[in-house]
Structure 1
């Protein structure tokens, strides 16, 4: 748990709303629910199939989770949610799958949804991650942007670029660092160094 904000035991008393952008099938939300985090979740994803699977999870409760399909780069999100209504938004390996031309559109929409003082918790692929280095030239779409064999796309961020995307839309930078990890599988004799970018941004409030 790198994001200690998610361990706040007073969330229930504060009526906190957490929005996971690009929730997939709920692999981020459901472990938090299992740990007893008592908040209201908004779970959105561009894939309707992912949302269907999420809703079939035994921990899904429509009283606790508002799950729906949406493209976060469009203004359709505002037909679903009110402005200034979200306390914390998470972007975990999501922005990298969006075309770079739409990064700031997505972040601008999230800014509008967050309450003043609200947080964005961001984690994504870092520049020169081993997965990027292993791409062959034919898979490169644009600078630091690649197409995987399965047709999905991935962008690799520098901490400077990640910070700029958010601060350009009015966010205040709290932290933005590279995180180094290793993917180890002794059975397969795999030991791969990984590089991620992890950051926190806040929407300025009346006191900031």
Structure 2
């Protein structure tokens, strides 16, 4: 992404080294162009890489903590196990993976028309990108198949109110914590 999680973490933990990976070269370029990147450049490296189809960069050292924030939903469900394995291969023993993504029945899933549905909980957006919506059972199974031990999976539900338009928007995200076995 654009570094919205990366830079606050670097700011909060001055001794931490961080790596960022995104499928989009444009997104990686945006991160590199931000003033914060220049300030943290000694402790931060970023790459463009499709984690679903290729291993993570060789220069990326094994990590103790990894985050996948709205990453897995953009990957075709048949490729998610391979993506998780690629991430796991770059994690130390007893490392922790945190996942946050779209949960089933999120407002954005409900809003998709019937012509957008590609499969069970899989949809195509107007720009051609895909979005997958996870149940706890499916995400848990995928994590376990990739060799992770699931510590916790929960739905995070929130109703967002737009008072001006008198709208209530029900959002559902899924959060998981898993460890390398």
The TM-score by the shorter chain falls in which range? over 0.9
Q: TM-score, normalised by structure 1?
A: 0.81
Q: Any stretches of 5+ residues in structure 1 without a counterpart? A: 1-23
- Report the Cα distance in structure 1 between the residues aligned to 2:13 and 2:87, rounded to whole angstroms: 26
- Report the Cα distance in structure 2 between the residues aligned to 1:184 and 1:39, rounded to whole angstroms: 37
Name the structure 2 match of 1:21: none
Paired residues in the alignment total 179
Is residue 2:176 matched to residue 1:199? yes
Deviation string 1:16-62 (CA, Å, 9 cap, x unpaired) is: xxxxxxxx110111122343453111001010011111011111132
Name the structure 1 match of 2:137: 160
SS at match of 2:79: helix
Name the structure 2 match of 1:30: 7
SS at match of 1:77: coil
Name the structure 1 match of 2:102: 125
Structure 1 residue ranges (4+ consecutive) displaced by more than 4 angstroms after TM superposition: none
Q: CA RMSD in A?
A: 1.5
> 1:33–1:59: 8 Å Cα contact kept in structure 2?
no
> 2:10–2:17: 8 Å Cα contact kept in structure 1?
no
Name the structure 1 match of 2:117: 140
Q: Any stretches of 5+ residues in structure 2 without a counterpart? A: none
Name the structure 1 match of 2:153: 176
